[in-house]
């Protein structure tokens, strides 16, 4: 092969000293580029552009030469101009994707590669290889930092992989795992759902993660550790906002903690998602109401009134609670409130969607 200077001299002599065409300037620029004379290559391409400001190949050539000098910001502009002038040039999209990847502009890099794949499906493997490289890098970070309980770096890396390839199920799955470890349960659940969206075989992993949350909550509940159980069920709801078991568990823990208003709301959400939970709800309502009835029969009207109020907070549609409340007010000679309670009881009977049944407790 000829030396660099001889090669350039021969190519320039071929063009001659007459007025050069845009093609000749581009040819000259290519000659300079091949021997790594990047600045001269840039100048030759610019000469071609002066002759034809719509000459896409010259902008591409200029971008390649700029890349040789590491002037990446200018490279991007040159490639983008080449694409505007020739939007079907696969090679320019690939080169643009490469430089954006180097600049860590992964979302834009991925878009460039996907454009290239529209015109040349053979690029697909390169695209997936680059995606895998990003996910593998994130995996290394995840393995390195999880021992220190610091997952931020891994999360950023997985998010970069997703920016590059927003259809990659594995990236979403790993992101979900890292976010889960960091306690970002809502975001983790969303990532898991996106993973399943792109790969349905991952559904079991998502379900198992949710069941682990609920199982831990139930174990804490059975040990009487209701505050911890409530927190665990709340996290399960964040992870999957449409899981009836999580709402039911949350409701039962809140009930045990005496947070009746919130417990009732959680139970009704569980019923909306899975109607079979209505039995637990009505049983819990009856439990509070019957306790009020017992206190009423013992003549402890103020304490009975407190229980009836709790029952109404828990289940505002419970007619029996309004009846008991009215009776307690009557015995306490608060006739105004007693009359109001009777009125509310009548209204409730007309609209009550649930049938309150007696006996057991939650």
Q: What's the distance, CA 54 to chain centroid?
A: 42
Residues of the chain with pLDDT under 50: 1-2, 15, 17, 342, 346-362
SS3 label, residue 334: coil
Per-residue model confidence (pLDDT) at position 160:
94
Residues 6+ apart with CB under 8 A from 264: 251, 281, 313, 314, 315, 316
Residues 6+ apart with CB under 8 A from 242: 273
Per-residue model confidence (pLDDT) at position 5:
52
| CA separation for the pair 191, 185 (Å, rounded) | 10
Tokens coding 9: 């001299």
CB-facing half-sphere around the CA of 258: CA atoms within 13 A:
3
| CA separation for the pair 235, 214 (Å, rounded) | 9
| CA separation for the pair 123, 94 (Å, rounded) | 8
What pTM does this model have?
0.69
| CA separation for the pair 275, 230 (Å, rounded) | 21
Burial environment of residue 182 by CB neighbours within 10 A (0 to 12, 13 to 18, 19 or more): middle
Per-residue model confidence (pLDDT) at position 143:
75
Per-residue model confidence (pLDDT) at position 213:
87
Are 196 and 177 in contact by the 8 Å Cβ rule? The answer is no
Per-residue model confidence (pLDDT) at position 11:
54
Q: What is the per-residue burial (b if ≥16 Cβ within 10 Å, else e) of 187-219? A: bbbbbbbbbbeebeebeebbeebbeebbebbbe
Domains contained in the chain, CATH given: 4-87 (1.25.40.10), 274-362 (1.25.40.10)
């Amino acid at each position: 092969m000829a030396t660099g200077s001889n090669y350039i001299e021969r190519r320039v002599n071929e063009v001659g000293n007459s007025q050069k065409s845009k093609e000749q300037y581009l040819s000259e620029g290519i000659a300079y580029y091949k021997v790594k004379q990047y600045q001269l290559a840039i100048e030759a391409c610019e000469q071609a552009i002066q002759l034809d400001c719509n000459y896409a190949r010259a902008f591409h050539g200029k971008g390649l030469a700029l890349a040789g000098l590491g002037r990446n910001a200018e490279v991007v502009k040159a490639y983008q101009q080449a694409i505007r002038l020739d939007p079907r040039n696969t090679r320019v999209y690939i080169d643009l994707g490469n430089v954006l990847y180097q600049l860590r502009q992964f979302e834009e890099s991925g878009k460039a590669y996907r454009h290239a794949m529209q015109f040349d499906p053979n690029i697909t493997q390169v695209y997936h290889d680059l995606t895998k490289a990003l996910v593998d890098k994130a995996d290394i970070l995840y393995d390195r930092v999880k021992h220190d309980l610091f997952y931020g770096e891994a999360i950023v890396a997985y998010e970069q992989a997703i920016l590059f390839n927003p259809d990659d199920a594995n990236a979403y799955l790993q992101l979900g795992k890292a976010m889960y470890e960091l306690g970002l349960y809502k975001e983790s659940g969303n990532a898991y759902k996106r993973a399943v969206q792109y790969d349905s075989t991952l559904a079991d992993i998502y379900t198992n993660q949710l069941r682990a949350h609920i199982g831990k909550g139930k174990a804490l509940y059975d040990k009487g550790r209701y505050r911890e159980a409530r927190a665990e069920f709340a996290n399960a709801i964040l992870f999957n906002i449409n899981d009836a078991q999580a709402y039911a568990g949350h409701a039962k823990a809140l009930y045990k903690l005496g947070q009746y208003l919130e417990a009732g709301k959680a139970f009704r959400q569980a019923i909306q998602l899975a109607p079979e939970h209505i039995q637990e709800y009505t049983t819990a309502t009856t439990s509070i109401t019957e306790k009020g009835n017992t206190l009423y029969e013992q003549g402890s009207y103020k304490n009975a009134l407190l229980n009836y109020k709790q029952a109404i907070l828990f289940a505002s549609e419970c007619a029996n609670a309004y009846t008991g409340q009215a009776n307690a007010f009557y015995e306490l000679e608060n006739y105004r409130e007693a009359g109001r309670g009777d009125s509310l009881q009548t209204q409730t009977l007309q609209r009550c969607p649930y049938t309150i049944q007696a006996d057991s407790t939650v």
